[in-house]
Amino acid sequence: MAIPTIHVGCTHFARGRLQALVNCKGFYPVACVDINLDAAQEGLESLEGDLPEGLGNRIYTTITEARERHHAEVCLIYASTPVHAKLVVESLNLGLHTLCVKPIATTPDEFREIIRVRKAHPDLMLVQGQNKRWNPAASKMREWLRGSDGIGEMLGGECRFWIRQNLWRADNSLYPDAYVEGIFFHAATAHQLDQLVAAKGLPRYVTACVHQREDHEIARTGVWGTAGGQALLEYPNGAPFCYTGTNASHANPFGWSGHWTFHGENGDIRRDAGHLQLFRKGECVEDCQLQDLHPGLIEDDRLQFDAFADALSTGKNQEWLQETTLGTWILMEACNRSARTGTRVDVERLRAELMDL
């Protein structure tokens, strides 16, 4: 049975997530939340499909007000990045299972506050929304990294990502991705490396640097940690993994999914977005072109919401969903800490600092 859900954020990218909620089977929207009521109303009117009757009359400016008036068990948060942490805290304190799009927090203090509240509600699920691990191409890569028919133990790998992302809004204001320090790892790299964490968990150590590139045409204004970054991840078995990413580049060859190679005990993987190849003993033994990200990412979020609903209803993958998506936040923060301090960061120690409160 579908689970009653409050949806936060009804315009721009958030509006598409509301469409994904309408499209999914596991949840249904009982109320919406947005500080801009008129724009939210317009957002709702533009949705397609079977909307619950009267949803347009159930838009509120806070989650608390929505929850006071309607029974709900889940809250999906797609408001602007700087308000994520306070909305996650509000949602958990209202007793709602919560999924908040990455990054759920923008500083370690915000993250610790979330974890403190989560510990006070151990029966609630808390997930960082990571919509790019669900499409068939990402799922295939995960299967080859984890399954018995894949590459076996990972011995090394790399991911390269580049895109030209314009962070000016139509009204000449800036997206938070242009001015929140250290947001590149949390908001861009998270899209790729979440797929690695989902398959292989957290590395033992991270050493990272950020790019200081300025390109005012696309709102690269020189704020620390917003233009791009590189990282060396070392896994507990000694396997190194290299990451290079920038969204101040001139082309977009493999989009948000990037280009990957992996070396393993039993084989190697090459992936360019939706094109994946598995090699063994010098031969390509599997070559497939699979659906990568869907246009508008609505289907990607529909898949994510149904997986979250399934975890709540059946218990399946609950721990994996929570621990790996929060783990991605910790890994991104480890990159920032390493880049700020010029040191190799012990990821397990940072995880304990942020989680064992």
Ligand X SMILES: NC(=O)c1ccc[n+]([C@@H]2O[C@H](COP(=O)([O-])OP(=O)(O)OC[C@H]3O[C@@H](n4cnc5c(N)ncnc54)[C@H](O)[C@@H]3O)[C@@H](O)[C@H]2O)c1
The distance of closest approach from Cβ of residue 191 to ligand X in the complex, given in angstroms and rounded to an integer, is: 7
The distance of closest approach from Cβ of residue 130 to ligand X in the complex, given in angstroms and rounded to an integer, is: 7
Dihedrals phi, psi of 242, to nearest 5 degrees: -105, 135
The distance of closest approach from Cβ of residue 8 to ligand X in the complex, given in angstroms and rounded to an integer, is: 5
Q: Rounded to 5 degrees, what angle do the CA atoms 19, 140, 22 make?
A: 10
In the block, which residue shows the tokens 């596991």? Answer: 26
DSSP string computed for 27-88: EEEEEEE-S-HHHHHHHHHT--S-PPTTGGG-EESSHHHHHHHS--SEEEE-S-GGGHHHHH
Tell me the C-alpha to C-alpha distance, in Å, between residue 248 and each of 225, 234, 263.
12, 26, 29
Dihedrals phi, psi of 253, to nearest 5 degrees: -65, -40
The distance of closest approach from Cβ of residue 135 to ligand X in the complex, given in angstroms and rounded to an integer, is: 12
The distance of closest approach from Cβ of residue 353 to ligand X in the complex, given in angstroms and rounded to an integer, is: 25
Nearest to 161 by CA among 264, 56, 231, 66: 231
The distance of closest approach from Cβ of residue 333 to ligand X in the complex, given in angstroms and rounded to an integer, is: 17
H helix count then E strand count, the chain: 11, 15
As a whole number of angstroms, the distance between CA 308 and CA 305 comes to: 5
**What is the binding site for ligand X (CB under 6 A)?**
8-14, 33-36, 39, 78-81, 83, 101, 131, 187, 297
Compare residues 207 and 322 and give the one whose CB is closer to ligand X. Answer: 322
User: b or e along 60-69 (b: 16 or more beta carbons within 10 Å of the residue's beta carbon)?
Assistant: beebeebbee
Measured between its terminal Cα atoms, the distance across the chain in Å is 36
Compare residues 94 and 297 and give the one whose CB is closer to ligand X. Answer: 297
Compare residues 89 and 187 and give the one whose CB is closer to ligand X. Answer: 187
The distance of closest approach from Cβ of residue 131 to ligand X in the complex, given in angstroms and rounded to an integer, is: 5
Beta bridge pairs of residue 229: 210, 245
